[in-house]
Chains A and B, each alone.
Chain A
Amino acid sequence: MINAVGREIPEEILKATGKEAFKGAYAYDNYEYTKAAPTVRAVSDPNRSKMVENIHEALVKCGIKDGMTLSFHHHFREGDYVVNMVMEEVHNMGIKNITICASSLGKANDPIVPYIEDGTIVGIQSSGVRGKIGEAISTGKLRDLAIMRSHGGRVRAIESGEVHIDIAFIGAPTCDEYGNLRANGGKSDCGVLSYAAVDAEYADKVVAITDCLVPFPNIPASISMVHVDYVCVVDEIGNPAKIATGAAKPTTDVRKIMMADYCTQFVINTPYFKDGFSYQTGVGGASIASTISLGKIMEERGIHMGLGLGGITTPMCSLLEKGLINKLVDTQDFDLGAIESIKKNPNHIEITASEYANPFNKGAYVNKLDFVILASLEVDVNFNCNVVVGSDGMITGAQGGHPDTAAGAKCTIVIAPLLQGRIPAICTNVTTVTTPGETVDVVITDYGIAINPRRQDLIECMKDVDLPFCTIEELRDKAYAMVGTPDAVKFDDRIVGIIDARDGTIIDVVRQIKDFEFDD
């Protein structure tokens, strides 16, 4: 059937997954459901230790068997060792048919690809995948459908019982012998453990993996001992140099600086830019540049940000330190400055992924956003965005909080250079829809700015603003005039993955990639 963003979702996929086709970004408001619950084994004997010698013993004690679902978080980003070390041991034990439910997977996890090929791993559920795992899925090597979920959508899926985690492995920079987990104070600090909170609460078994055992009690804990079954100490949980790098230098790319200036001018001319406003931005060069230029105007006009949300970078922490942000609310730290900030600034606060973005709790932080500044691989003339599948059809990105923040914010701004090499970012149809156009308000490119016609209020308030406004179709036409109209990528019939909307309906499917053949 054709869903609300015009995508064909085949009946057999709806039948096989028990899911429904996407009906609109807010179709499940007021939805009532009963939460799932884990099976818990009590620890009441004070003499019982939670310590295990190694991953192997943890797996044995957790009753690892074929067909289980194992979960991981991605706070160690491209420095993660935990997924690989656990899956290597699972593989060595001869276990098969495992589904991985991760908050995200990156190139650091390329080493698990052979386990996809040999049937150790048959399912992957993640915010997204990059590198060789993406290639493996796109070329049809994974047995089951890959499921891509937003950060909020993943919490919903776990809490509602759509996915049940048998064993959660939670890498923790510091941990005590009873399983109190903190994200700081160790060798591999990652700032927060927000994505792992739901795993701790909903998995049957929870294993903490650390490379820095500290005296009891390790508090205040991001994840409490009451959820943790076993504690395993290993040499290294990650590569600190890749977990967090120094703050990215402000971009010197004039094209990005220009787009950042457009963005700031747009923001300050909306009615939402007033004392106490709330804001989230990403880690791209243009996003960071727009945070810096917005900061200057906030300082000049004495306007404070009430809430800064999201994945946090150093420029947001600098605004907090200058007293220009009241509360910085954090689910992920992208650089060392952000990690240092949460260690020392009492107004920089860790929240869980559920508090951040879960559409099925009683109200998440994203719902309180005035602005979110996002990037996108592709945006189509209906303002639908694609952040997961490359224009060549290969899975190569992650939903992250993109659909969550877009749905929540009063003003969702996407910054994208019109062209990436020959590939137009603004197109007739995105390769895959990951964020519905009804939740995207403005697209800023280096060749002009398009406001979604659904937002007549924003069009009205920009009437006298000196910015290069045009329609989204004009942006596409400008792009196609320069690079030529791209052919649609030809896919195989087989569906290899589904893109979950936040509410668990199917917003799009991903098909197996096909070798290119010339026409005729």
Chain B
Amino acid sequence: MEIINIALAGTLESSDAQVTVEPGENGIELTIESSVIHQYGNQIRKVVLETLERLDVQNGRVTIIDKGALDCTLKARVECAVYRSNGITENLPWGGVIK
């Protein structure tokens, strides 16, 4: 998928993450801010990159502001932001690329 428009998913509540995706042309430009960066920074990056790869997103600026979200929450927020950037909010491929 491509990132077409700027889109956002998630909140800044504790145990959530706010994910912003913006169009770009230089591969994935990922910025991560996290309240648990020291313990889970690498894990957060891994989960976000894997999710983008699964969605076949190759370009774009992705900004994560994490407040201690679990991996499942991070995945869901990234998926939601990418689909919103494509204007897709219905008939999502549950069980397909959205796991």
Contacts and interface: CB of A to CB of B under 8 A. Distances in A.
Contact of A423 (B39, B41, B45, B69): B39
Interface in B1-53: 14-15, 35-43, 45
A484 B42 CA distance: 11
Contacts of A516: 37-38, 41
A422 B68 contact: yes
A476 to B, nearest CB: 14
Nearest to A427: B39
Contacts of B45: 518
A295 to B, nearest CB: 32
B40 A518 contact: no
Nearest to B42: A519
A35 to B, nearest CB: 43
Given A482-B70, A484-B43, A484-B71, A421 B15 contact: yes
Given A421-B14, A484-B71, A392 B39 contact: yes
Interface residues of B, number: 17
A94 interface: no
A276 to B, nearest CB: 44
Contact of A483 (B41, B67, B70): B70
Contacts, number: 50
A487 B37 CA distance: 9
A159 B43 CA distance: 49
Nearest to B35: A421
A421 B40 contact: no
A27 B69 CA distance: 44
A482 B14 CA distance: 16
A6 interface: no
Contacts of A489: 38-39
A261 to B, nearest CB: 25
Interface string B73-93: 000000000000000000000
Interface string A449-472: 000000000000000000000000
21 contacts: A391-B38, A391-B39, A392-B37, A392-B39, A421-B15, A421-B35, A421-B36, A421-B67, A422-B40, A422-B68, A482-B70, A483-B40, A487-B39, A489-B39, A516-B37, A516-B38, A516-B41, A518-B41, A518-B42, A518-B45, A519-B42
Given A422-B69, A484-B70, A516-B41, 17 more contacts: A391-B36, A391-B38, A392-B37, A392-B38, A421-B35, A421-B68, A422-B36, A422-B40, A423-B39, A423-B68, A486-B40, A487-B42, A487-B43, A489-B38, A489-B39, A518-B45, A519-B42
10 shortest interchain CB distances as A-B pairs: A486-B39, A421-B68, A422-B68, A489-B38, A516-B37, A392-B38, A422-B36, A519-B42, A484-B43, A421-B15
